[in-house]
């Protein structure tokens, strides 16, 4: 129980639970108690306990709204994620199990985050008390009945964020892709001609500017794999096309076509 509730249960409460769910033989070392506890029955009863009603929704006054607007501007200029930073101050995600914290802790968190010695922001103590009263939760403080024991810290932080946009903070919170891949930014994948996976009208097909003869152009590749023999044949054809010398052009004279290539056959040989 101490590990589950992180030491927040008092010893007299634990003793009452052990007496209520007692089992086994009496404990001779502690008269009036027993050596065992019905832990399963306690766990089932614990799960059936109805949760407490949520605290009332806050209704900030115009004065509080203006103070929260100043906090919004300050958090934006300094890159402060108020909800996340308050949660980290209270112990982090693993330790914080509620959106409500004590009033003292709440004021300390705002003092650390927004009232540092090197900070230009100065919050008023009276305004903090008004905020705590507006976002109150829990029972009345026995030592000061004017206030409540707890404050809705997450609701307050979210309201500060919603006062107005925080473009600089939003830019810091956004995910930046250092090396975006094709298609990650919404653009279409470019169509690249390749001798291995020919595109219609470019290599080896009829009707294209590089067509070598009348034949049908191969269909575009629909897979990243092909047969080994096909792969070897296409790579060889591509290499041969790159190494072959360009064909010699013919000269057109007076409507007749003469070839510039001389015959190597001798007459009368």
Q: Classify residue 122 by its DSSP letter.
A: -
Beta strands in the chain (DSSP E): 22-26, 34-37, 101-102, 136-140, 148-151, 251-253, 256-258
Q: Whose CA is closest to 74, among 119, 125, 126? A: 119
Residues 87/125, Cβ–Cβ less than 8 Å? no
Q: What is the pLDDT along the chain (269 residues), one digit of tens a residue?
A: 777 776 667 788 888 888 889 888 888 888 888 888 998 998 999 888 887 788 888 999 999 999 999 998 888 888 888 999 999 999 888 888 889 999 999 999 988 888 766 665 567 788 999 999 999 999 899 888 889 999 999 999 999 988 888 887 777 776 544 455 555 555 555 555 555 555 444 444 444 444 444 445 555 555 566 676 676 677 677 766 666 565 555 554 444 445 444 544 454 44
- Give the Cα separation of 241 and 194 in Å (integer): 13
Place of tokens 């052990």: 18
Per-residue model confidence (pLDDT) at position 226: 65
Task: Give per-residue burial for 123-147: e unless 16+ CB within 10 Å, then b.
Answer: beeeebeebbebbbbbeebeeeeee
Residue 105 is predicted with a pLDDT of: 92
pLDDT number for residue 155: 94
Distance CA 200, CA 208 (A): 8
Where do the structural domains in the chain lie, given as residue ranges? 11-47, 62-171
């Amino acid at each position: 129980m101490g590990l589950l509730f992180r030491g927040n249960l008092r010893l007299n409460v634990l003793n009452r639970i052990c007496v209520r769910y007692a089992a086994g033989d009496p404990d001779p070392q502690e008269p009036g108690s027993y050596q065992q506890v019905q832990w399963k029955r306690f766990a089932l009863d614990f799960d059936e306990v109805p949760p407490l009603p949520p605290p009332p929704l806050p209704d900030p006054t115009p004065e509080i709204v203006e103070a929260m607007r100043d906090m919004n501007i300050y958090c934006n200029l300094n890159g402060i994620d108020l909800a996340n930073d308050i949660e980290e101050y209270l112990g982090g995600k693993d330790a914080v199990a509620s959106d409500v914290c004590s009033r003292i802790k709440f004021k300390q968190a705002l003092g650390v985050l927004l009232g540092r010695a090197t900070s230009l922001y100065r919050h008023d103590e009276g305004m903090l008390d008004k905020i705590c009263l507006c976002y109150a939760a829990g029972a009345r403080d026995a030592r000061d009945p004017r206030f409540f024991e707890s404050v809705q810290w997450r609701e307050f932080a979210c309201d500060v964020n919603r006062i107005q946009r925080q473009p600089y903070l939003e830019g810091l919170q956004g995910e930046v892709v250092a090396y975006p891949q094709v298609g990650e930014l919404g653009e279409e994948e470019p169509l690249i001609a390749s001798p291995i996976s020919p595109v219609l009208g470019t290599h080896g097909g009829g009707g294209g500017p590089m067509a070598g003869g009348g034949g049908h152009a191969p269909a575009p590749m629909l897979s990243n794999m092909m047969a080994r023999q096909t792969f070897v044949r296409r790579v060889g054809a591509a290499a041969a096309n790159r190494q072959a010398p360009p064909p010699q052009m013919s000269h057109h004279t007076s409507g007749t076509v003469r070839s510039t290539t001389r015959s190597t056959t001798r007459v009368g040989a």
